[in-house]
Amino acid sequence: MIKVQNICKTLGTTLAVNDVSFDVTAGEILGLLGPNGAGKTTTLNMLVGILQPDGGTVRINEGNPCDAGTRHYLGIAPQGLSLYEELTAQENLTFLGQLYGLSAGHLRDRVHEMLEFAALTDRRKHPVRTYSGGMKRRLNMAAALIHDPEVVVFDEPTVGVDPQSRNHIFDRIEELKKNGRTIVYTTHYMEEAQRLCDRVAVMDHGRILAMDTLGGLLTTYGGAAIVKGELEPDCQLAACPGVEADRSFRFSTNEPVREVVRLSESGVAFKALQINQPDLEAVFLSLTGRSLRDD
Amino acid sequence: MKRILILSLKDLKLISRDKLGMFFMLAFPVLMALFFGSIMNFGPSGSNALKIAVCDRDRSPVSRRFVKNLQDNEVVDVDELPREDAVDSVRRGSHAGVIIIPPEFGMTAGVIWKDAPPIHLGLDPSRRAEAGMLEGMVMQAIGGLVMDRFQDPATLRPLIEDSRKEIQADDSVPLPTRVVLSTMMESLAGLIDSIEQVQSTADTAPGDMEQEAARGRGELRLASVTYIDVSRSPDPGSRAAILSKVRSGWDVSFPQAMVWAVMGCVAGFATLIVRENTLGTHTRLLVSPLTRSQLLAGKGVACFLCLMLVLTTMIMLAVGLGMRPRRWDLLVLSIASTGVCFVGLMLPLSLLGRTEQAVSGTVWGICTVMAMFGGGMVPVVFMPPFIQTLSNFDPVKWAVYSMEGAIWRGFTFTEMLLPCGILTAVGTVSLVIGSWMISRRQA
């Protein structure tokens, strides 16, 4: 569905994207994870044909996204709210649907569906400038989907959104996945990538540092799980690794649950127990030597 | 084309919801046109007649005839007022002079052998030069009364008879003088008889204009005056000659105000283009199945349609106020070429900043300077020659000039080709440069 090969882009004097390649198959969600300035948005802009790569190729359904015909397959929810604030939600959606050449009846149905999708049916005749940040984000997504595209690109769709709207957005994206849409999703929130993405590409300084399924990345770069806690006074202290004088303990293992069961069976009694599984934060730390949210 | 229209309609909708933008596009130019048009329309009147107030306190048929004689004179403009009002109106400067006709004016007016009838004349001291003229007008009207007396023998005959008796009975007059005066009265009576005879003869063959003239009705002329044409005929290229074609203040104020409306549209749409970038809606449009040419064309068509709507509204308003364009077809040509010119200019102007505030401020700054030099504030005809030369490089000048050409200058189609050609050329070149700059920036 999407084929990106060795794309590069220099913006001013900065090499924003450097030799990036990836494929996305139909119905898959690929997450681009990286801090601000990693090159995610520039990569997306080349993916949807807004920017021409200095080198390399992008193909959507075998077509060049710079061609108007190929862009029929594409929908984008840009990071900035790309909405006409003086128009109502209904007018925004109708205008975009008309641009994509939807017939009058189909357009009416799609506008109705997208207003439902964004939970804005009640506010459809209010100007967008009167909406909350979450409402605008949802409408921004709906605008990307008005023409029912096969490929949808979400560029940090939850920035500045309240938890309720964030959950609404996650639900809608999962719904899209169920309906077989191919999605590219950029974020610097690892929780979002963990929840939504089939595969994650970790980006930094314009390059993809690693790309795999979530499990694959955790296995390869996340390291072992950390088990820590405190033991009961009268238990078999010697059987537990990493015990301190105050009976607190900390050790790492690739199979934390099995190890805890084994210790319990050998007479170790836990007063407090905490298992820290490896996550994308750890993956990013492992790949770059710094935290994802250092900036 | 359908997509271009969809884009244009969206932009028109957006611009119509921008209240401040609409104010500068329509309300401000209309207010400007009304303000300056009113100043020009209600300035000094063009009438050259001497305005006088008349108070007829006699109200006799003879005094009414005297007033009518004055009113029939084109040189004076007569208003009948009560005495106090008439005097006050001169003091206030509303009238140049006042004529008060006292009671019993009709007893002796037009009877040449009796004492001259009393008449009171008041004149604005600041207009003494016109005093002699007014006195002449009064004498002319009295002369008319003398002629009227002779043409009405029935009323003149008793006056002659009374006068003869008075002369004969007046012992204070020396006898020889009485004889002379009595003889004169008899001669007058004979003259009256002759006039009556002539009138009765004429009445049997009515309708002959020459006979009517021979009877001399209404004619008391000491000289036969004819007028020769010495109307001012200034050099056709002079300011006076140009301004002589202006028929009302609206002729001048509306073309100027229409140019401000055009500039309001340009500023509004230039800002709209930047807003597309700052809001990110431009990104969405770039991802839609539109070509970049269609995107630019959408903006251009929207701006052009907006200009046409605003200008048409202003023209309709001006026509409602009394402006009458000499050539409607040339006016359409003028506003169309003005539209092309300023739509073209709008594109490069929209690139003069990266924020709405920067572009709006810069565009208005440039437009204000263009309006200053191009006649959007003061008509070019009133500017010194070197500024008039400079204004040739200002599209505002050609826009105003072409509109004036169609509205009051009385241009022919050939004469319109120069301003309209320049406007179209400027618009086309700007359009090409603007499109190139926009695509370069986006790349």
Claim to verify: residue A78 and residue A151 sit in the same structural domain: yes
> Under a CB-based contact definition with an 8 Å cutoff, are residues A90 and A99 in contact?
no
Residues of B with Cβ-Cβ distance to A98 under 8 angstroms = 3, 6
Whether chain A has a CB inside 8 Å of the CB on B289: the answer is yes
Domains in chain B with CATH codes: 2-42+240-442 (no CATH), 51-214 (3.40.1710)
Claim to verify: residue A77 and residue A151 sit in the same structural domain: yes
In a domain, A109, yes or no: no
Residues of A with Cβ-Cβ distance to B6 under 8 angstroms = 95, 98-99
In a domain, A18, yes or no: yes
Whether chain A has a CB inside 8 Å of the CB on B5: the answer is no
* Residue from B2, B7, B13, B281 whose CB has the most chain A CBs within 10 Å, to mutate: B281
The pLDDT averaged over each successive group of 10 residues in chain A (295 residues) is 89 87 90 84 88 90 84 86 89 92 89 89 90 87 89 85 82 87 85 85 88 85 86 80 86 88 88 86 80 57
What average pLDDT score do residues B71-97 get? 86
- B287 and A95 within 8 Å at the Cβ level: the answer is no
Whether chain A has a CB inside 8 Å of the CB on B16: the answer is no
Q: Which of B7, B280, B289 sits opposite A78 (nearest CB)?
A: B280
Closest residue on chain B to A12 (Cα):
B443
pLDDT attached to residue B213? 47
pLDDT attached to residue B333? 94
Closest residue on chain A to B13 (Cα):
A87
Residues of B with Cβ-Cβ distance to A157 under 8 angstroms = none
In the structure encoding, which two tokens stand for residue B306, read together? 């907006």
Report the amino acid identity of residue B436.
W
Which residue in the block uniquely carries the two structure tokens 């207010």?
B31
Q: What is the CATH number of the domain that holds A10?
A: 3.40.50.300
In a domain, A266, yes or no: yes
Cα A262 to the center of its chain, rounded Å = 37
- Give the whole-number percent of chain B exceeding pLDDT 90: 14
In a domain, A39, yes or no: yes
What is the nearest CA distance from B22 to chain A, expressed in angstroms?
Answer: 14
Q: Which of A48, A95, A101 sits opposite B10 (nearest CB)?
A: A95
Query: Where in the sequence is the domain holding A247, given as residue range(s)?
Result: 225-277
Examine the pLDDT at B48 and tell me if it is beyond 70: no
Claim to verify: residue A187 and residue A260 sit in the same structural domain: no
Residues of A with Cβ-Cβ distance to B268 under 8 angstroms = none
DSSP code at position A229: E
Claim to verify: residue A77 and residue A187 sit in the same structural domain: yes
* Residue from B5, B284, B290, B295 whose CB has the most chain A CBs within 10 Å, to mutate: B284
In a domain, A141, yes or no: no
pLDDT attached to residue B341? 93
The beta-strand segments (E) located in B277-332 are: none
Claim to verify: residue A76 and residue A151 sit in the same structural domain: yes
Average the pLDDT over each of A10-24, B197-211, B340-354 and give the range with the smallest value: B197-211
- Cα torsion B147, B149, B152, B156: sign: negative
Claim to verify: residue A152 and residue A272 sit in the same structural domain: no
Average the pLDDT over each of B55-59, B208-212, B323-327 and give the range with the smallest value: B208-212
What average pLDDT score do residues B100-115 get? 80
Residues of B with Cβ-Cβ distance to A75 under 8 angstroms = 287
ipTM of this complex prediction, to 2 decimal places = 0.77
DSSP letters for B16-27:
HT-HHHHIIIII
In a domain, A201, yes or no: yes
What is the nearest CA distance from A95 to chain B, expressed in angstroms?
Answer: 7
Claim to verify: residue A241 and residue A171 sit in the same structural domain: no
What is the nearest CA distance from A55 to chain B, expressed in angstroms?
Answer: 14
Claim to verify: residue A62 and residue A156 sit in the same structural domain: yes
Claim to verify: residue A215 and residue A260 sit in the same structural domain: no
Claim to verify: residue A271 and residue A156 sit in the same structural domain: no
Q: Which of B283, B291, B443 sits opposite A78 (nearest CB)?
A: B283
In the structure encoding, which two tokens stand for residue B302, read together? 């929207």
> Under a CB-based contact definition with an 8 Å cutoff, are residues B264 and B360 in contact?
no
DSSP letters for B215-275:
TTTT---SS------------TTSHHHHHTT--SHHHHHHHHHHHHHHHHHHHHHHHHHHH
Q: Closest by alpha carbon to B258, among B246, B266, B270?
A: B266
In a domain, A112, yes or no: no
Decide the pairing of beta strands A225-231 and A270-276: antiparallel
What average pLDDT score do residues B335-349 get? 90
* Residue from B7, B12, B287 whose CB has the most chain A CBs within 10 Å, to mutate: B287
Q: Closest by alpha carbon to A86, among B7, B24, B267, B17?
A: B17
pLDDT tens, residue by residue, B233-267: 667 667 677 777 777 788 888 888 898 999 888 88
pLDDT tens, residue by residue, B9-46: 888 888 888 888 888 888 888 888 888 888 777 655 55
In a domain, A89, yes or no: no
Claim to verify: residue A182 and residue A248 sit in the same structural domain: no
Claim to verify: residue A67 and residue A22 sit in the same structural domain: yes
In the structure encoding, which two tokens stand for residue A55, read together? 């080198």
Q: How many domains does chain A have?
A: 2
